[in-house]
Structure 1
């Protein structure tokens, strides 16, 4: 039996993301800070941001960007990210955001798959961005370096050209806004096609649950290139006329300094940050009394850890759940609900319907009249669900069914009050510090090593409770000098930092089904038994 959100439906306007967020900026909000550079304190007001968005849109249109064409954005969290991201959308383009940690090879793959025409980056990331652009044939004049670099236009160049934003027309319900890349429930990264309506809907759906106000200062350390940061921080904060304080990367001392100096009120994190906030002695050296709420996402937050953070900082702690394929949020513990257990992900958000399905039988799990349901795979549908995977009908059909339900690959329960708890994972994807690590990608790489006969990768918990990639390796007969350090170094030299193998175990045989599929559950059993 399916179950709907316990909250009433919210109205979702039929608007583009730009018109939804900036179609009308009240004069009283024009001089409010929209973005604050955490390092320098430099302020970008809402009035300035809207002007910059128009300037970027005009410059792209003048350079030949057509409605529906893709522009890549490869940048950490800096204030200019917002102007470029929304400038792309304002011009009718599609933004594909690229992980700032990616190697040149990773970037080239995404540029190729998305058919990007332009690439925005920053000077510290230019070597790998330029190499990727050369590989895929994007000319230097179409590689825009936000802070400037010889041989490339800068953001200042685009803005001083003075081109007006183009007049564009499209259907927000079907026109793509963004193409983040996700591994879904398994496999290699795929372009997630999210429409303007998807993004607008998710802001409308989560807004009553988050409690973000115009007087809030949100610390933006979670990357904007990730769908969590893109929707929950960038778009939701701007919609509420709050201020975003940007941090390009996490550093504990800088994090604490900025929260204290800027008097941040609302902090969005992933669980590894919670560990530091709960345990690190440095936290006591800073005044964090301005923080009223911490919201955790991207990976499961342990209940005791969350409580420890709440107690130490004297604030409320909440968590939610989602996927890139859901724009991303489907569940969240409301800011005003202290009665909901922190080991849950809260109720289903407005305008969504879910069901639990027994993966063994395919039968729907009954909704409980009281207590908690039996576990089942969580299926979700609503206006925030993706249009599909770019150029991959097979993967789309495996994830999105004919009735519009997205099969999440996570096992959950629901109680009689509609509160959902994630209890296990069907999908093979590893979540390292909130970043997706597809085991198949690492396995394919490991098999290129001449001394490795076979390999399998699963996620295991480290001493801090963080999921990390562990490789089970079968060595070739007579292999020499192949030890844990050699395997780790081999992978590290060829992947982005978050994809590194952190642990290695040598085994005689990788367990596989008759069809040749790796039996990861057997490896997990082995891992558990070994502890």
Structure 2
């Protein structure tokens, strides 16, 4: 049974993202587009346009061309947006890297993406420098570095005498952005999102019936990272296309977050479950005036209905939920904001132009209403595939164009979806993806470990944290292993608990039986 969106289909124009983006922001001029949350620096839409064009012309003048891959390894700053939009304007491909990555994690992404240029900050250079010799990166630009030779500011100099050469972009075939995701299992893979994917995603969100979209009067707190697809397409792209003001925040710091809501009378907050939980429970919230909030949305990871309701009561506005994947740009399902639904636990209904199907996890046969199985998705926001990985692409997207989400779900007769469980093995820690296979491979390089398995463990603050089951070949303490892993991976990937066992349970084919371990 194929489930279709309750919203009417909408036409997706066959144009590049820059053509669409600049047309959308054309009506806005002196309106404030960006405010740096730490310094208060403001950029209006005319300045935003000018700076994007300056960066694009400077890069093109340096010889960068269509198809070149640019990596951005930085926290949220105003200049991130200039670079992001400018790269697509010259036909480049953007791969965004988590600034929490260690040097070795960054190295893997740079090598796989074949990035030739990197944008970063001065405090991250110590992790960048060691990997330059083993990657294709030929040039590094450093944000907020003054007039030094590799300063990003040099790209912002007045270059009106330089003409931006026109670029021919095939919206459906040319890659626009290349975020990395672990998919349903395994190591991170480059998700190829086309210009058409980005355009479609923006239009689909705006065309869904009974939803609230940002507008020129809205002030959005951009606390979610721009390296993440949620921060890219929902906050940056959707917000700016509708003339909203983005308050740029480098990471979630409770006092700063609440203070900025109070100071700027923020109206809109796209958040993740750990922040929703903070709003629902933390006593600090009552010390700030956050009554300006009119719209709050939770995404990127599951959250309980009780927490959503508690947060809504605390912030005095409904807290809505959506569902998506990096592979779907990301939103495919969203609650209808304007309907007073009494349905508890739902993530909403399908976006326009989107289809879904629930299949039996054993037989692959389609299921009906209120039957639980794997959620399959199809629509114009679904990725082109995984970069240089046809095998993983074929597993993710079948011959009929269905993306296999790896999530277990059901749908009721009114088209409301409920995410029940995960077929895929990923751990969602603070809304970041952690692939058990990546940690297992690392653990197996330790001389004291003969076998290992990693599973999620429920955690009130983080949602889930990695727990390792380990078979030893020689004595070593759990604390020693935890400390060893912590030196090699980003903080959210660090193992929080270890249990030593005699044998890792596996199927006859050698697959780790993670459910057996989770149920211990």
CA contact (8 A) 1:90 1:165 kept: no
Which has the higher mean CA deviation after the structures are superposed, 382-391 or 465-474? Answer: 465-474
Number of the residue aligned with 1:504: 498
Question: Could you say which residue in structure 1 is the equivalent of 2:416?
Answer: 419
Tell me which of 337, 344, 347 is aligned to 1:345: 347
Q: Distance in 1 between matches of 2:103 and 2:415?
A: 45
Task: Tell me how far 1:521 sits from its aligned partner.
Answer: 1.3
Tell me which of 486, 490, 505 is aligned to 1:492: 486
Moved more, 255-264 or 12-21: 12-21
The question of 1:518 aligning with 2:512 is answered yes
The reply to whether residue 272 of structure 1 matches residue 274 of structure 2 is yes
Residue in 1 aligned with 2:403? 406
Q: Tell me if structure 2 keeps the 8 A contact 1:59–1:161.
A: no
Deviations 1:114-172, CA, capped at 9 Å, x for gaps? 11111011112221123222331523xx1001111786422220111514433111111
CA distance in 2, matches of 1:352, 1:133: 42
Judged with a 3 Å threshold, the aligned counterparts in structure 2 of structure 1 residues 226 and 38 are, in CA distance, closer, same or farther, namely: same
- Aligned match of 1:437 in 408, 426, 434? 434
Q: Aligned match of 1:145 in 129, 139, 142?
A: 142
- Of 293, 315, 318, 2:317 maps to 315
Match of 1:294 in 2: 296
Which runs of no fewer than 5 residues in structure 1 stay unpaired?
527-531
Check if 1:204 corresponds to 2:198. no
Structure 2 residue aligned with 1:245: 247
Distance 1:137 1:391, change over 3 A: closer
Counterpart check, 1:95 vs 2:97: no
Which stretch shifts more, 336-345 or 307-316?
336-345
Relative to structure 1, is the Cα distance of residues 198 and 257 closer, same or farther in structure 2, using a 3 angstrom cutoff? same
* 1-structure distance, mates of 2:290, 2:187: 40
Aligned partners of 2:82 and 2:3: how far apart in 1?
Answer: 39
Preserved contact between residue 318 and residue 342 of structure 1 (Cα < 8 Å): no
Q: Report deviation, 1:343.
A: 1.7
Cα distance in 2, alignment partners of residues 210 and 133 from structure 1: 45
- Give the corresponding residue for 2:236: 234
Does structure 2 conserve the Cα–Cα contact (< 8 Å) formed by 1:319 and 1:342? no
SS in 2 for 1:249: coil
Question: How big is the shift at 1:24?
Answer: 5.7
Query: How far does residue 390 in structure 1 lie from its aligned partner after superposition?
Result: 0.3
Structure 1 ranges of 4+ moved more than 6 A? none
C-alpha displacement at 1:22, in angstroms? 1.0
Q: Secondary structure at the match of 1:23?
A: helix
Of 8-17 and 185-194, the range deviating more from structure 2: 8-17
The answer to whether the Cα contact below 8 Å between 1:377 and 1:407 also exists between their aligned partners in 2 is yes
User: Contact (CA 8 Å) 2:107, 2:135: kept in 1 or not?
Assistant: yes
Match in the other structure for 2:70: 71
Equivalent positions of 1:111-190 (< 5 A) are 111-139=110-138, 142-148=139-145, 152-160=149-157, 162=159, 163-190=162-189
Matched with 1:9 is 9
Q: 2:306 aligns with which of 295, 304, 307?
A: 304
State the match for 1:529 in structure 2.
none
Correspondence for 2:464 among 440, 464, 467: 467
**Judging changes above 3 Å, is the alpha-carbon distance between structure 1 residues 435 and 24 closer, same or farther for their aligned structure 2 residues?**
closer
Which residue does the alignment assign to 1:22?
22
- Using the size of structure 1 for normalisation, the TM-score is 0.95
Equivalent position of 2:262 in the other structure = 260
Deviation at 1:465, TM superposition (A): 6.9
**What RMSD in Å do the two structures reach over aligned CA positions?**
1.4
The count of residues paired between Structure 1 and Structure 2 equals 515
Quote the Cα distance in structure 2 between the aligned partners of 1:20 and 1:133: 35
| Alignment-derived partner of residue 477 in structure 2 | 483
Q: How far does residue 484 in structure 1 lie from its aligned partner after superposition? A: 2.0
- Matches of 1:303 and 1:25, distance apart in 2: 36
Range moving further from structure 2, 122-131 or 276-285: 122-131
Residues 72-114 of structure 1: CA distance to partner in whole angstroms, max 9, x if unpaired? 1111111111110000000110111111111111111111111
CA distance in 2 between counterparts of 1:396 and 1:210 reads 34
The alpha-carbon deviation at position 463 of structure 1 amounts to 4.1
